[in-house]
Structure 1
Amino acid sequence: MAHIFGIRHLSPASSLHLCAYLEQKHPAYILIEGPSDCNDMIEDITQDQLQPPFAIMAYTTSSPIHSILYPYAKYSPEYVAMKWAKAHNIPCAFMDLPTSAFLSLDTKDDTRQDYEIDLDMDANDQWERIFEHETNSDAFQKAVTFFAHNLREIKPADEFTLLRESYMNTTIQKLIKQGIHEDDIVVVCGAFHIEGIMEAKVLPDAQYEKLQKDISNITLMPYSYFRLSSLSGYGAGNKAPAYYELLWDYAKDGHMEQCAYAYLSKLSLYQREHGFNCSTAQVIEALQLAQSLSAMHQEQIPSLQDLKDAAITCMGYGNQAELMEAFMACEIGTTMGYLPKGMSKTAIQNDFYTQLKTLKLERFNTMNANTLALDLRENTSVKSEASAFLDLRRSCFLHQLRFLNIPFCVLQPNTQQSADWKEIWELKWSSEAEITLIENSLYGESVAYAAQFSIKQKLADATNMNACATLMEEAFLCGLNDSMSHALEAIQKLAIDSSSFEDIVKTAKRLSYIMRFHTLRRMENDAIEPLFHQLFYRAILLCVSSCQCDDKVSHSIMEGLKTINDLSIQHDHYMEEEWIQVLNELSLRDDINQLLSGYATAILLERGLLKEDEFQRIVIYHVSHGVPVDIAANWFEGFMMKNHYALIARSFIWKQLDDYIQELEDDDFLRALLYLRRAFSMYSAKEKHEIAQNLGSLWHLDQDSVAEILNTELKKEEQDLLNELEDFDFGDF
């Protein structure tokens, strides 16, 4: 049988002793636990320009997409073995089941066990003390093999693991049949698999070849230490990848004990850089305490837990919270891998990184969140067109990523409503962003093509104009003229039969946005304007009939009225005469929902289109004795939803309301109370205070005293009574 060296994935000690083992055996061939259909990637993986951590990602070639990751750190034994093989000009290959076998299982069964040595915090500390600090290679190998033997007895392998081990043994035997002596082969695999490989049966050729079916694509991607840490949920990771890299760097140079000095120094540096006091004397005291703690465990080198306990005592004044951020930075950190240009195996990855370089966004490709402010206007202080519209091109690219749900960028809310030329983005790389990017390779060879394809797919499924207009707006933000044209065609087809007031208004609003800002974003507009005018006119024609509705839909219709009013103003008072005629009709008619009638009146008042005597006549008509309380209160609620201060300043309104309420019977008063309570809930405390002052003046009382009483918080029993009234059926009266 070939020489088998058992490892724990992501273990610096495994890598250290594996190097010594390889130097001792100097094999003619190295086989490594890893997907056998990724052998052609080993050449790229071992390039000097590649910087770990990185991952091999395999994913299915059809939707729904399933993927699997094989991450590696600088100190991963598999990666160290590949680098050793290249340095010594010795061939090496992966020997585990191909990725297709794992992906096939993933699509059918999620019950496969993971036999990586998974340890809790206390067990990790013991692992480090017993294994990571071991300096004798023979002792390490024997201890790991014995540990794996006991683990296998406690947790027997499942059928899939046995299949993997048979496949690996078959790969070994095929290599021997090719003429390589078994003594010249070193096998690197998880220690759990040592016995399984040695005892596994060789697979028949037919079964061996059947497992090699091709249903997946494979690519390389950068990875991060956060993803490798236990905090990310990755089972085969370790809790402190940055610390273990530090341990690896000193161990391979023969100075493992200096890792403790370096770790405490890094903690101290972090504390000082972030405004905390941390002297050299405290670092020395912490080191001495850590060494004493390790001696109590009969260890010569402090473990990470020893170092942390000592740091808390000597540098954190006994308070763990004082050092939590420093622990995170020094144990996990923000290290992210790097792949040379062209090494990624999907075109969309290459396009992404090319775009980052072209758009000068490479500095934002980090684990730390960074803010990017964009000014979409032309920069007239530069000479080239590319530089003049750099921020606009950045915006289009970032919107494409956002639309594809690639979590590299997040658009922040615009707090300056008038600054439509300004965008604020938060950019942050994550492995999830890379994975999502790769998954989108099924939709196009570039980010733009993928966004275009996705828009086309969603347009095919859209069933109303607003859905198509939403996609048209997305295409507009993404800078995709062709997609905008396709969306416009879809809207025009649906517009023929559409009679939904809300759908028409929402669509017109989105078209308006594109019309108003097409110059800023340098997009075409000619075909949009005629459709906007058509929809706007249809919306006005449908207004009155749409307002003949019940309370369930009245608020959505009200939003439509607000939108039409806004659009009319934004487009140079477009069709203002027709719109004002509709508002006047709504303010006077009795056969429409009175909430909407009141709202239409409020719009007329806000726009200064009601003379005072007309205004008073309308108010008296809707809020006067003889008008049912439901109708009057509903009208008043809609009326109060526009310019608050325009209403507060008119004392006539409050006198008319006061006279009306005074005449109500007790039962009607309770009913009106609910409407008024809901209406006034939209007013600020300052506005309520001014209304109360108006009432005080009306009642010939001290205004401030009335305001104080009326704005006093309700007692609990009073509040409970109002809550009960909300659910009361007044139809029983």
Structure 2
Amino acid sequence: MRAGRADVFVLGVRHHGPGSARAVRDELERLRPDAILIEGPPEADPIVSLAPGMEPPVALLAHVPGQPSRAAFWPFAAFSPEWQAILYGTSAGVPVRFCDLPAAHSLAGDGDEKVPGLRADPIGTLAAAAGYDDPERWWEDVVEHRGDTPFAVIAEAMAAVREGHQPDEREARREAYMRKTLRAAIRQGYGRIAVICGAWHVPALAAPLPLVGADNALLRGLPKVKAELTWVPWTYGRLASWSGYGAGISSPGWYHHLFDAPDRPVERWLTGAAGVLRDEGLPVSSAHVIESVRLAHGLAALRGRPLAGLGEVTEAARAVLCEGDDLAVELIQRRMVVGDRLGHVGDGTPMVPIQRDLREQQRRLRLKPEALDREIDLDLRKPLDLDRSHLLHRLRLLGVDWGTMGQARGKGTFRETWSLRWRPEHDLALIEHAALGTTVAAAATQRARGLAAAEPAALADLTSLVEQCLLAELPEALPEVLAALSAKAALDTDVTHLMAALPAMVRAHRYGDVRGTPAEGLAVIVRSMLDRICVGLPVAVTGLDDGAAAGLLKHVDGVHSAVALLHEPSRP
């Protein structure tokens, strides 16, 4: 369309659609615009140039400093049309700007706005109306195979879908800001402007545009907060719709395959599925693969589709490769249909100091973040494994549960077993605790001090905190935690509280021995608690009903085991 002195090309897309991504890249190559506007928060304009050095999936993270609950993510995969537009713009030297409502405004709301499903995936709505259960199949069959420009078709379809639609306040403001950004680009002298946005918004950006005054009135007086933006790694598991991302997709691994496969996508997919099953020890031959490909193509032909889709290849895999085994199908679903891909951001990405410290420690300790569960066994007699243990325990103290402790293999207290899985939310948790220190150790130390000083701090919580400080090797926090524990133990007269707290104290004392971590004063507190338990126990067991007696018996057993551990010599 012609807007003022500029030619404006509005490319309506389906978010995270491989068909849309290919079409956008081809259209930009054809149009050769001198400016690109993309749906997204404009505060990210200064960091868009970092995209070529990243490995998707990644996400823009916007957050309000000091208020971690006010945060939002904008994920991008390799097959996201917006990502392909960013890569084209940065490689061609074309300015790339985001044009959606600023995060400073969107994060200032109460977060209660509901986005109707129609606007979340309008192409999915059109596909469903045409009898398709897969929007990408509809795109392939109805749009790309028509032979004309897909964006003109999509614009026409969206105009029909939106006919008579009255946008709510949030949607109206978003589209008003998109038009405001477009007008600003025209005033700056750009003559060929490409706008990449969700297909739903195309009619709102088509000529004739509403009056400037009307849009300004919509944007006047919006609440505003200070928002900071950065790039963070994302995962295909989080990109999937079942992980809670509203504009997500249920099969990111499949879409990545469709976008990435140079040819014969069905054959390549089923060959990969056979490899996954073979890795798990299941017998799958080449004949299985050949027959499954034939079945997938046969189902597509029977259903009138030019190419087998996810439904056809899944049914073929279930019938031939998996021989009807639902567990094997679930394995393919988890490994391939959703996928385990974890993105990577470059070193030049804006990070708080604690994030950089963690990244350096991950490299030094050779602990690579991964999207799938990975189990590691640590021998605490080895310096490398001991440092790994300290890092994982410090992160747990900060609420970053990258690692979950399991049952250690073998005997002795020198071994730990961890299950590691990195989630994008961990970056937000690190940012939340950035004010506590510039390193993981410093932040964990301050966190422990804060927990010890909190009121009211229960005796069991303080004993657990002592144990965590020893496991995480936080010697600067330990004296304050021990002082708080000693004061609390001296005032607590409830024998059951003392009995519940003693096992953790004994474990902490023992960890201080076997790890070489000094914990002066801990033995005195343990002995004092044990003496008070022995004095108060005869009274505590008097006049109990069956339920109370059973509960107290568990405490007695715990104290008995703790005393045995206290006098047992350390062994590897």
2:275 aligns to what? 269
For 1:486, which of 480, 485, 489 is the aligned residue?
Answer: 480
1:142 deviation in Å? 2.5
User: Following the alignment from structure 1 to structure 2, what is the Cα–Cα distance between the partners of residues 456 and 329?
Assistant: 42
1:10 deviation in Å? 0.7
User: Following the alignment from structure 1 to structure 2, what is the Cα–Cα distance between the partners of residues 415 and 291?
Assistant: 48
**Equivalent residues of 1:501, 1:539 under 8 A apart:** yes
1:500 aligns to what? 494
For 1:36, which of 14, 31, 42 is the aligned residue?
Answer: 42
User: Following the alignment from structure 1 to structure 2, what is the Cα–Cα distance between the partners of residues 525 and 292?
Assistant: 71
* TM alignment of 1:342-361, pairs within 5 A: 342-343=348-349, 345-361=351-367
For 1:111, which of 114, 125, 133 is the aligned residue?
Answer: 114
Secondary structure class of the residue paired with 1:188:
strand
User: Following the alignment from structure 1 to structure 2, what is the Cα–Cα distance between the partners of residues 509 and 274?
Assistant: 41
| More displaced 10-residue stretch of structure 1: 89-98 or 324-333 | 324-333
For 1:339, which of 342, 345, 361 is the aligned residue?
Answer: 345
1:529 aligns with 2:523: yes
1:65 aligns with 2:48: no
1:525 deviation in Å? 2.1
**Equivalent residues of 2:172, 2:218 under 8 A apart:** no
Q: Under a length normalisation based on structure 1, what TM-score does the superposition of the two structures give?
A: 0.68
For 2:197, which of 178, 189, 195 is the aligned residue?
Answer: 189
**Equivalent residues of 1:219, 1:346 under 8 A apart:** no
1:528–1:324 distance in 2 versus 1, CA, 3 Å: closer
Matched to 1:196, the amino acid is A
1:167 deviation in Å? 0.8
**Equivalent residues of 1:373, 1:425 under 8 A apart:** yes
**Equivalent residues of 1:221, 1:344 under 8 A apart:** no
Secondary structure class of the residue paired with 1:461:
coil
Matched to 2:231, the amino acid is L
User: Following the alignment from structure 2 to structure 1, what is the Cα–Cα distance between the partners of residues 352 and 267?
Assistant: 43
For 1:45, which of 38, 44, 51 is the aligned residue?
Answer: 51
1:52 deviation in Å? 0.7
User: Following the alignment from structure 1 to structure 2, what is the Cα–Cα distance between the partners of residues 568 and 316?
Assistant: 54
Secondary structure class of the residue paired with 2:491:
coil
1:525–1:117 distance in 2 versus 1, CA, 3 Å: same
**Equivalent residues of 1:58, 1:218 under 8 A apart:** yes
**Equivalent residues of 2:64, 2:225 under 8 A apart:** no
For 1:392, which of 362, 386, 390 is the aligned residue?
Answer: 386
2:406 aligns to what? 412
| More displaced 10-residue stretch of structure 1: 223-232 or 478-487 | 223-232
1:102 aligns to what? 106
1:423 deviation in Å? 1.1
User: Following the alignment from structure 1 to structure 2, what is the Cα–Cα distance between the partners of residues 550 and 318?
Assistant: 57
User: Following the alignment from structure 1 to structure 2, what is the Cα–Cα distance between the partners of residues 278 and 130?
Assistant: 32
1:200–1:246 distance in 2 versus 1, CA, 3 Å: farther
Secondary structure class of the residue paired with 2:97:
strand
1:425 aligns with 2:392: no
Secondary structure class of the residue paired with 1:445:
coil
For 1:157, which of 155, 162, 167 is the aligned residue?
Answer: 167
1:237–1:497 distance in 2 versus 1, CA, 3 Å: closer
**Equivalent residues of 1:21, 1:137 under 8 A apart:** no
For 1:216, which of 220, 227, 247 is the aligned residue?
Answer: 227
1:17 aligns with 2:23: yes
The Cα offsets for residues 292-333 of structure 1, whole Å up to 9 and x where unpaired, read as: 444445543333333334444554556766544335433222
**Equivalent residues of 2:108, 2:223 under 8 A apart:** no
Q: Under a length normalisation based on structure 2, what TM-score does the superposition of the two structures give?
A: 0.86
1:141–1:410 distance in 2 versus 1, CA, 3 Å: same
2:468 aligns to what? 474
**Equivalent residues of 1:75, 1:245 under 8 A apart:** yes
1:449 aligns with 2:442: yes
1:261–1:155 distance in 2 versus 1, CA, 3 Å: farther
User: Following the alignment from structure 1 to structure 2, what is the Cα–Cα distance between the partners of residues 110 and 208?
Assistant: 17
Matched to 2:339, the amino acid is G
1:534 deviation in Å? 3.3
1:375 aligns with 2:379: yes
1:610 aligns to what? none
Matched to 2:172, the amino acid is L
Secondary structure class of the residue paired with 1:96:
coil
The Cα offsets for residues 372-419 of structure 1, whole Å up to 9 and x where unpaired, read as: 111223x4xxxxxxxxx2222211111122333323211013475x51
**Equivalent residues of 1:346, 1:438 under 8 A apart:** yes
Secondary structure class of the residue paired with 1:476:
helix
**Equivalent residues of 2:173, 2:219 under 8 A apart:** no
**Equivalent residues of 1:505, 1:564 under 8 A apart:** yes
1:452 deviation in Å? 2.5
**Equivalent residues of 2:78, 2:256 under 8 A apart:** yes
1:259–1:500 distance in 2 versus 1, CA, 3 Å: same
2:514 aligns to what? 520
For 1:168, which of 178, 191, 200 is the aligned residue?
Answer: 178
**Equivalent residues of 1:35, 1:95 under 8 A apart:** yes
**Equivalent residues of 2:64, 2:107 under 8 A apart:** yes
1:715 aligns to what? none
For 2:239, which of 228, 240, 243 is the aligned residue?
Answer: 228
Secondary structure class of the residue paired with 2:346:
coil
* TM alignment of 1:123-134, pairs within 5 A: 125-132=133-140, 134=144
User: Following the alignment from structure 1 to structure 2, what is the Cα–Cα distance between the partners of residues 225 and 564?
Assistant: 47
1:303 aligns to what? 309
Greater relative contact order (Cα < 8 A, sep 6+): 2
1:285 deviation in Å? 4.2
Calculate the aligned-residue CA RMSD, in Å. 3.2
The Cα offsets for residues 636-668 of structure 1, whole Å up to 9 and x where unpaired, read as: xxxxxxxxxxxxxxxxxxxxxxxxxxxxxxxxx
The Cα offsets for residues 188-238 of structure 1, whole Å up to 9 and x where unpaired, read as: 100101112345554676975865844333222111222222343433222
**Equivalent residues of 1:20, 1:137 under 8 A apart:** no
1:36 deviation in Å? 0.9
1:247 aligns to what? 258
User: Following the alignment from structure 1 to structure 2, what is the Cα–Cα distance between the partners of residues 394 and 232?
Assistant: 29
**Equivalent residues of 2:464, 2:505 under 8 A apart:** no
1:144 aligns with 2:146: no
Matched to 2:135, the amino acid is W
1:27 aligns to what? 33
Q: Which has the larger radius of gyration?
A: 1
1:326 aligns to what? 332
**Equivalent residues of 1:4, 1:187 under 8 A apart:** yes
1:202–1:442 distance in 2 versus 1, CA, 3 Å: farther
For 1:238, which of 233, 246, 249 is the aligned residue?
Answer: 249
User: Following the alignment from structure 1 to structure 2, what is the Cα–Cα distance between the partners of residues 395 and 206?
Assistant: 57
| More displaced 10-residue stretch of structure 1: 522-531 or 50-59 | 522-531
1:124–1:345 distance in 2 versus 1, CA, 3 Å: farther
| More displaced 10-residue stretch of structure 1: 294-303 or 164-173 | 294-303
Richer in helix (by share): 1
User: Following the alignment from structure 1 to structure 2, what is the Cα–Cα distance between the partners of residues 126 and 528?
Assistant: 63
1:97 deviation in Å? 1.1
User: Following the alignment from structure 2 to structure 1, what is the Cα–Cα distance between the partners of residues 52 and 42?
Assistant: 17
User: Following the alignment from structure 2 to structure 1, what is the Cα–Cα distance between the partners of residues 70 and 167?
Assistant: 24
1:16 deviation in Å? 1.5
1:76 aligns with 2:89: no
1:540 aligns with 2:534: yes
1:685 aligns to what? none
User: Following the alignment from structure 2 to structure 1, what is the Cα–Cα distance between the partners of residues 329 and 564?
Assistant: 57
User: Following the alignment from structure 1 to structure 2, what is the Cα–Cα distance between the partners of residues 124 and 457?
Assistant: 56
Count of aligned positions? 550
